[in-house]
Amino acid sequence: MPSETTTVMENGLSDEQELEHGRRRALAAKHRFMWGLVVPSLLVLLVFEIYPVILAAWTSLHKVTIYDPGRPFVGLQNYIRLFTDSHFFNTVLPNTFIFTIAGLAVETVLGISVAMLLNRRFRSESIVTTLLLFPMMVAPSIAAILFAWMFNSQFGIVDVALEAIGLPAISWLSGRWTAMFVIVISDVWLWTPWFTILLLAALKVQPPSPVEAAKIDGANAWQVFWHVTLPYLSPVLTICMLIRTFDLFRQFDQTWVITTGGPARSTEFFSIYAYKEVFEYTNYGSGNAAALMGALVMLIFGLIMYRTFARLTGGTKKAT
Amino acid sequence: MAEEIIVKGQLKLYGWRRALWFTGIVLVCFFFVFPIFWLILTALRPESEVFYVHRGTHFTLDNFIRAFDAHQFKEAMFNSAVLATLGTCLSIGITLQSGYMLGRFRGKLRNTWFGLIYIMRTIPYITWGLPLYAMTQYLGIYDTYWGVLGPHLAVHVAFFSLVMKGFFENITASSEEAALVDGCSHWGVYFRIAVPQVLPGIFALSLICWLWTWNELLFAMLLTSADTPLLTVTIVQFVNEIGMEWNLMAGSAIIALIPAILITVFGQKYITKGLYM
């Protein structure tokens, strides 16, 4: 923008109109540049994310079959089918919410605890951090294999250990809740370190004076944590929890590998359900309807949390 | 408080508190390391002893060789590496721009873009993955690099734009403003001044981006098949096809983990930067 302003000055035309003209051109150039920056990303999103979602919406309103190329419009029939499917309503939806809430709760609490534990200087600090970093780099599908193997009901090390200390072995993957537990554990293993590392980074730069002041006032360690440290961590914690919620809710990989939704479809989440509806039962309409319902839940949740997210990450900036 | 001495601004622990803290650290390390340790141990056991991993005494490297020679395994590794590399090169370029826009500008256009990215971030993969199956077939790019690359780029845009934004916000804009005043174009400022300053961040994010693509399962399952096998799908198929051969599973999983191991060990300093998403 200033380049045009200089030209105006060099020409000796300090006329107000000319200046205004130059400013507008500069503004236009800035806008062109802003568009140029986002156009590639925007195109990618339009073609590979937004258009498919529209396509999913279309499919969910039509009767799509392999044998009938007509694909007649059926209105909300697929949705009615979905919501009258007791399996979807009584198992799939609760599973998705239970998994999201359980995973989020455990990861948050454990993440904070480990971060507090590591928040001091010690000799093997960097080794411990590396060890913590590693699970995040592991493919969820491979983590799932790990946990499926460790919790294998015949040869898994967990049952071996249980028997060694005199407890009965559990066939983990043949019960709904024990299988859910294994899926949650695998997610906790993968993602707790993420909380820990981000929280730890914040703790390392925490100003010491409020903590010291609280201690001088006679606060015990728990009170200091609850009234000083936790409020200090809350912005980064909120963002972590929000992003984890999106990702826990859509989680597919681990469930697919560990149980494939079994036993007897009792650990299906909405993403597994949608996948199976389409690829195993060829119900394209209701599969897409289920996937869209999941997206809708997250969209509503996301919109409710948008102000918080935008405030904490600098989302809204007024033009200057 | 006799047992509390502050050293360099930190509470030094003594006695039972120290023991408790130490136990905590050991438990944490155990929880996060043991599964990997167990995988390695399983991979080193011969087939006859894989069900008694904790008791056997025989070790072998045979599983790695067999996994490597398994049907389509090498192709799958190659394809995954190509896909991850292509995906990283392309998406770092476009997300960097998008991040610069978010980090440096103000106003309606920028806020709308921020909101759009946020919304795209909330949409579950499955919702746009299912229609992509039909869409890529219609376009004739099903089971090719391009078919599975596109959705990955979309994921990267939604995930990494905000990280990139953070990188640009952490550097001062004053030299960019000065260059603009001196008559440098916007693009010139972007490429010559802004981008070079965030190279460490770009490097960090490239590593994560590469690994993320390498690790992904759902899009690989939905959008590829026999012509372009990808590593995660191939390994997961092992579970279904060969069922009980856990030693092979473990061997192939370890091979698939090699990039993750290398990146964690050698890129540790950088990657933490790329995790702020």
The pLDDT tens digits of the residues spanning A10-55 come to 455 566 777 788 888 888 888 899 999 999 999 999 999 999 999 9
Residue A245 is predicted with a pLDDT of: 94
Helix boundaries (H) for chain B: 15-43, 62-69, 73-104, 108-122, 125-139, 145-169, 174-181, 186-189, 195-197, 199-215, 218-223, 231-241, 246-271
B257-264: average pLDDT: 89
Considering only residues 261 to 290 of chain A, which have any Cβ-Cβ distance to chain B shorter than 8 Å? 270-271, 274-275, 278, 287-288
> Which class is B65-275 in CATH?
mainly alpha
Which residues of chain B does A9 touch, with a Cβ-Cβ cutoff of 8 Å?
none
pLDDT digits (tens, 9 = 90+) for A96-118: 999 999 999 999 999 999 999 98
Which residue bears the tokens 């399996």? A87
Q: Amino acid letter at A206?
A: Q
- Selection from A309, A293, A315 nearest residue A89 by Cα: A293
What's the rounded Cα separation, in Å, for the pair B245 and B258? 21
CB B268 within 8 A of CB B275: no
**What region does B183 belong to: left with phi over 0, alpha with psi -120 to 50, or beta?**
left
Q: Amino acid letter at B127?
A: T
Q: Provide the shortest C-alpha distance from residue A37 to chain B (in Å).
A: 5
User: Is A155 or B25 the better-scoring residue by pLDDT?
Assistant: B25
Q: Which of A137, A250, A315 sits opposite B264 (nearest CB)?
A: A137
Residue A114 is predicted with a pLDDT of: 93
Beta bridge partners of B6: B11
Residue B11 is predicted with a pLDDT of: 60
Q: ipTM of this predicted complex?
A: 0.89
Residue A4 is predicted with a pLDDT of: 44
B26-48: average pLDDT: 89
Share of chain B above pLDDT 70, in %: 92
Which residues of chain A does B33 touch, with a Cβ-Cβ cutoff of 8 Å?
131, 134
Residue B243 is predicted with a pLDDT of: 63
CB contact under 8 A, A271 and B126: yes
Q: What is the CA radius of gyration of chain B?
A: 24
Residue A3 is predicted with a pLDDT of: 44
Phi, psi at B106, each rounded to 5°: -130, 170
Which residues of chain B does A138 touch, with a Cβ-Cβ cutoff of 8 Å?
36, 215, 257, 260
Query: Which residue is closest to B146 within chain A, CA to CA?
Result: A48
CB A60 within 8 A of CB B166: no
User: Is B270 or B104 the better-scoring residue by pLDDT?
Assistant: B104
Along the 320 residues of chain A, how does pLDDT read in single tens digits? 444 444 444 455 566 777 788 888 888 888 899 999 999 999 999 999 999 999 999 999 988 877 777 788 888 888 998 888 889 989 999 999 999 999 999 999 999 999 999 888 888 888 888 888 889 899 999 999 999 989 988 788 898 888 889 888 888 888 899 999 999 999 999 999 999 999 998 998 888 888 888 888 888 888 889 999 999 999 999 999 999 999 999 999 999 999 888 788 999 999 999 999 999 888 888 899 999 999 999 999 999 999 888 888 877 776 65
Beta bridge partners of B184: none
Residue A14 is predicted with a pLDDT of: 63
Considering only residues 180 to 209 of chain A, which have any Cβ-Cβ distance to chain B shorter than 8 Å? 189, 193-194, 197-198, 201, 208
CB contact under 8 A, B232 and A141: yes
Q: Does A40 touch chain B (CB under 8 A)?
A: yes
Q: Lowest mean pLDDT of A126-135, A247-256, B25-34, B149-158, name the range.
A: A126-135
CB contact under 8 A, B106 and A194: no
Q: What is the CA radius of gyration of chain A?
A: 27
Q: Which of B116, B126, B184 sits opposite A250 (nearest CB)?
A: B126
CB contact under 8 A, B28 and A117: yes
Which residues, in sequence order, are CB contacts of A222 under 8 Å at separation 6+?
none
Which residues of chain B does A250 touch, with a Cβ-Cβ cutoff of 8 Å?
124-126
Beta bridge partners of B7: B10
Tokens, residue A311: 């405030």
CB A46 within 8 A of CB A52: no
Tokens, residue B191: 């490429």
What's the rounded Cα separation, in Å, for the pair B258 and B271? 16
Which residues of chain A does B121 touch, with a Cβ-Cβ cutoff of 8 Å?
243, 246, 302
What residue segments make up the domains of chain B, in order of their start? Answer: 5-62, 65-275
CB contact under 8 A, B122 and A3: no
CB contact under 8 A, B264 and A33: no
Q: Provide the shortest C-alpha distance from residue A65 to chain B (in Å).
A: 12
Per-residue confidence at B2, pLDDT binned at 50, 70, 90?
A: very low
What is the value of pTM for the model shown? 0.90
Q: Does B163 touch chain A (CB under 8 A)?
A: no
Beta bridge partners of A73: A62
Tokens, residue B158: 């939604």
Q: Is A133 exposed, middle or buried (0-12, 13-18, 19+ CB in 10 A)?
A: buried
Instruction: Using alpha carbons, list the distances in angstroms from residue B258 to A42, A45, B265.
Output: 34, 31, 11
Q: Which of A145, A197, A239, A300 to mutate to test the interface with B (most CBs of B within 10 A)?
A: A145
Distance of CA A146 to the CA centre of its chain: 22
Q: Does B211 touch chain A (CB under 8 A)?
A: yes
* pLDDT at B72 > cutoff 70: yes
CB contact under 8 A, B187 and A33: yes
